[in-house]
């Protein structure tokens, strides 16, 4: 998982067999949430970080709001925002989901 080295601008999305959709974790999840807003959010207790689930229509909106850097068909998607995320906003959001 790429969240350990996330620069605060990059959203890493992984295809989930469990959800049959793309998911993002940690900082990537926050970038997705800030870009699309209406995504399913939860706190992934096994990984101890926030998670979002992105359906196909949301994925289309996400690709319009961010720049696609890399894609592995049906497995992985790397998108980049124009500017870094708000660290304080991420901490507050993650804390809210953890509760």
For 19-53, the pLDDT digits (tens) are 999 999 999 999 999 999 889 999 988 888 999 99
Angle at 84 between CA 79 and CA 87, to 5 degrees: 120
Domain interval for residue 69 = 3-98
pLDDT beyond 80 at 4: no
Whether the model pTM is above 0.75:
yes
Q: Work out how many domains the chain is built from and give that number.
A: 1
Six token digits for residue 40: 């399913």
Q: What is the mean pLDDT of residues 77-97?
A: 88
d(CA 43, CA 79): 22
d(CA 67, CA 80): 5
d(CA 56, CA 58): 5
When comparing pLDDT for 83 and 30, which is higher? 30
d(CA 96, CA 75): 29
């Amino acid at each position: 998982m790429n969240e350990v080295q996330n620069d605060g601008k990059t959203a890493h999305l992984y295809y989930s067999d469990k959800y049959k959709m793309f998911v993002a974790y940690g900082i990537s999840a926050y970038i997705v949430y800030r870009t699309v807003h209406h995504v399913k959010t939860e706190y992934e207790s096994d990984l101890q970080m926030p998670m979002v689930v992105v359906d196909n229509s949301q994925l289309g909106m996400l690709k319009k709001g961010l720049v696609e850097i890399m894609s592995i068909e049906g497995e992985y998607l790397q998108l980049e925002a124009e500017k870094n995320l708000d660290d304080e906003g991420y901490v507050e959001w993650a804390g809210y989901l953890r509760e």
